[in-house]
A and B are shown apart, each in its own frame.
Chain A
Amino acid sequence: MHRKRVVLGVAVAAAAATVLAACSSSGGSSSTSTNSSTAKVTLSWWNNANTQPLLGVFQNVIKQFEAAHPNVTIQNVPMQNELFKTKITPALRGNAPPDIYQQWGSGQQATQVQSGKVADISSEVSSWISSLGTPATEWQTNGKWYGVPYDLHVVGFWYRKDLFQQAGITAAPTTIPQLESDDAKLRAHGIQPIGLGSKDGWPDAFWWEYFAIRECSQSTITSAMSSVNLSAACFTKASADLDAFVKTNPFQTGFLATPAQSVPNSSVGMLANGKVAMELQGDWEPAAGSGLTSDKNFDDQLGWFPFPAVPGGAGDPKAVLGGGDGYSCTTAAAEPACAQFLQFLTTPAVEKQIIGAGAGLPANPAANGDLSVPAEKDAAAANSAAPYIAEYFDTALPTTPGQNLDNAVAKWFASPDASGSGITSSVTTP
């Protein structure tokens, strides 16, 4: 009897609570759809800065903005990156998406624009957006602005100066053959040359994409991304180059199962602990690695050099692969408050705080000098001087072909072949 009463009691309580909950729903964004810039507005802000130091920086930034715009309240909703990515799609599908949310531009943005929930802010940003330069154009879709970047990323080689010295390497390699001979020197001294977080797929993609950028001209790359087609001959050549390079055994043992970041046995962890000498990665590498080592000098041991030139390639040896982080406003968000906040994030003073937290390179070139890690400055300089920046293919392409490409490259690394047909055909697979 006692059990039955308990069971019934719980059931009744649950039913009652459901009714109550339905009546007093909570959560979700609550912005008024007024256009006046003096009425009270609240903006919910979904970002991936869920840990220090960027979390604290953003909280400060919110305070500063609210002080300058007393009628605006910003509700910070930080979320770990993978959680955020899982949540944003259903949220855009539902009827209460966040007002401001993070997105990475280009093809991914185009896919999201289809939901009809992303706001076209071209008129609100036209007066100042050009000061951010060419990289910001990744946040245009069909010529209209749907987002604004707040930091940029570039991919290059991060290497340990101490290990290079040990192996007797005096200068960073500038061509692939030089890189291969440096690898041999490192191996001769018992050092694993290059770390690769192949388990996650996207680090593999960096390799293939850089060979593609070195083999293909800029116009080939641009048209390939927009037409979602990798049939040009230079892409096959890129696969052949990569195949020849992989055959020189440059990566660490068991690289197929090594994750890229976060965990101690990741490739960046290995770089941080001196178990590999270099890694082809984005500018987040110092931040990602410093938590995994007790070596306080890690940042200073790092050097940076751009992806070497490929002899005979049609691509510019100074072109870089990169991307960035940005934010978009949804259609329910109050304007011009939303666009003003996005602009605020790109002002030099705020950019300084953001890059101080190790988020990446500033979206506003005026803040380039504020980078703290020496190697980062090299990366930023290469980024600013690059004739063009190719965005990571999986972001430049719409989401499905982009992910297919990453998967295909990862699969290729498990059993490399010179034709790379599995890779080039992956973007057109239905």
Chain B
Amino acid sequence: MTRSTAADAGLTGPGAADDIAVPGPGAVRRGGRYRRRRKLRKGTELTILLGPGLVLFLGFVLAPIAIGAYYSLYNWDGLGPLTNFTGLHNYKIAFNDPAFVSAIEHTLILTGLSLAIQGPIALGIALLLNRKFPGRTAMRLVIFAPYVLPPAVTAVMWSLLLQPGGLVDQVMKAAGLGGLVQLWLANLHIVLYSVFAVLTWQYLGFGIILLLAGLQGIPAELKEAAAIDGATAWQTTRQITLPLLGPTIRIWVFITVIGSLQVFDVIWLMTQGGPAGASDSMATYMYRTGFQNEAFSYGTAIAIIMFLFCFAFALVYQRFALRRDTRGALTRAVG
């Protein structure tokens, strides 16, 4: 059968799981006690499946976060007794601090750049790497390797490479681009973008791997079917691969936005958000003015604000983007 898109064909695609629980043609409906037993069984299964994860999560993640959030309503340095209740005072201070406002701007810039630049690059590379060619395994290893490096080392390494007269400068001069050399980390206007370049270097591999995993889930038969029907590689990509990769891309976007809103390690270790806060993200601002200064409550208030940013995005994204992945029919037969 020929269809213009795989989705139209109703072929395998992420679809609502809502129908799965309905018993198929094989099961015979029985009444009362059977249904109760099934309910009990389902309850038991759910407890086994969800229980341990939920307990671990509530115990080690939500409980500390809730307690931490409670501290933000006080003026506390982490040492003395918790006595100075100040309510939303910390939040007011934060939004009145121009350093924090520019930290927010920087974070949003980094997020936007990550989506606009890392996305297409990761997608392109993943598509290219999805076919067999000699050295593919080595390529994959090399691409993933930066992600494995601890941020501390990435920071030290790139600080050395980006210093005045360092390797980056030398390579540019050798390539005849000497006129474009800047003080990568000392120039207030450029440092944020230098940091972005390093972040891309470190995290691109993660995106590529995620997209590769998604590509693996696309059956080869679809592409073959399309090719038999006369589609070019580009058409196949555009109309079959990309839509089927949709859910994975949407997950990548979600993770990237959340990750960018919280970016900390590399920036802190490379520039401490400097010079003079020119490369501050919300998280580095939080760490410096909150935890390093032992203004613990203030730091936690900033963290709550960061959470609200992430939460707002997650809500909107869930509603408009991820919701698509829960709609759509799930067919029970192929071809």
Question: Do chains A and B make direct contact within the complex (CB under 8 angstroms)?
Answer: yes
Interface string of B179-223 (1 = CB under 8 A from A): 000011110100100000000000000000000000000000000
Indicate if the CB atoms of B183 and A89 lie closer than 8 Å: no
Indicate if the CB atoms of A256 and B275 lie closer than 8 Å: yes
Please classify the interface of chain A as helix (H, G, I), strand (E, B), loop, or mixed, using the class held by over half of its residues.
helix
Residue of A nearest to B166 (CB): A265
Which residues on B sit within 8 Å (CB–CB) of A114?
77, 79-80
Min distance, Cβ B161 to any Cβ of chain A, angstroms: 10
Indicate if the CB atoms of A263 and B156 lie closer than 8 Å: yes
Which residues on B sit within 8 Å (CB–CB) of A11?
52
Tally the A-B contacts, defined by beta carbons under 8 Å.
94
Indicate if the CB atoms of A93 and B78 lie closer than 8 Å: yes
Report which residue of A201, A407, A414 has the largest number of chain B beta carbons within 10 angstroms of its beta carbon.
A407
Which residues on B sit within 8 Å (CB–CB) of A93?
78-79
Interface string of A112-136 (1 = CB under 8 A from B): 1011100000000000000000000
Residue of A nearest to B48 (CB): A8
Is A27 part of the contact surface with B, judged by Cβ < 8 Å?
Answer: no
Is B294 part of the contact surface with A, judged by Cβ < 8 Å?
Answer: yes
Please, how many angstroms separate the alpha-carbon atoms of A198 and B183 in the complex? 14
Residue of A nearest to B90 (CB): A430
Indicate if the CB atoms of A254 and B185 lie closer than 8 Å: yes
- Which residues B119-165 have CB closer than 8 A to chain A? 156, 159-160, 163-164
Is A148 part of the contact surface with B, judged by Cβ < 8 Å?
Answer: no
Measured as residues with beta carbon below 8 angstroms from the partner, the interface class of chain B is: 20 to 34
Indicate if the CB atoms of B78 and A90 lie closer than 8 Å: yes
A11-B52, A399-B294, A400-B293 known; A257+B163 contact, CB < 8 A: yes
Please classify the interface of chain B as helix (H, G, I), strand (E, B), loop, or mixed, using the class held by over half of its residues.
loop
Please, how many angstroms separate the alpha-carbon atoms of A253 and B185 in the complex? 11
Indicate if the CB atoms of A265 and B295 lie closer than 8 Å: no
Report which residue of B93, B274, B292, B295 has the largest number of chain A beta carbons within 10 angstroms of its beta carbon.
B274
Please, how many angstroms separate the alpha-carbon atoms of A199 and B191 in the complex? 12
Interface string of A1-25 (1 = CB under 8 A from B): 0000000000100000000000000
Which residues on A sit within 8 Å (CB–CB) of B93?
430
Which residues on B sit within 8 Å (CB–CB) of A259?
159
Please, how many angstroms separate the alpha-carbon atoms of A198 and B278 in the complex? 14
Residue of A nearest to B75 (CB): A430
A256-B186, A257-B185 known; A413+B276 contact, CB < 8 A: yes
Which residues on B sit within 8 Å (CB–CB) of A264?
160
Is A404 part of the contact surface with B, judged by Cβ < 8 Å?
Answer: yes
Interface residues in chain A, defined as those with a beta carbon under 8 Å from any beta carbon in chain B: 11, 89-90, 92-93, 111-112, 114-116, 198-201, 253-259, 263-265, 399-400, 403-404, 407, 410-415, 430
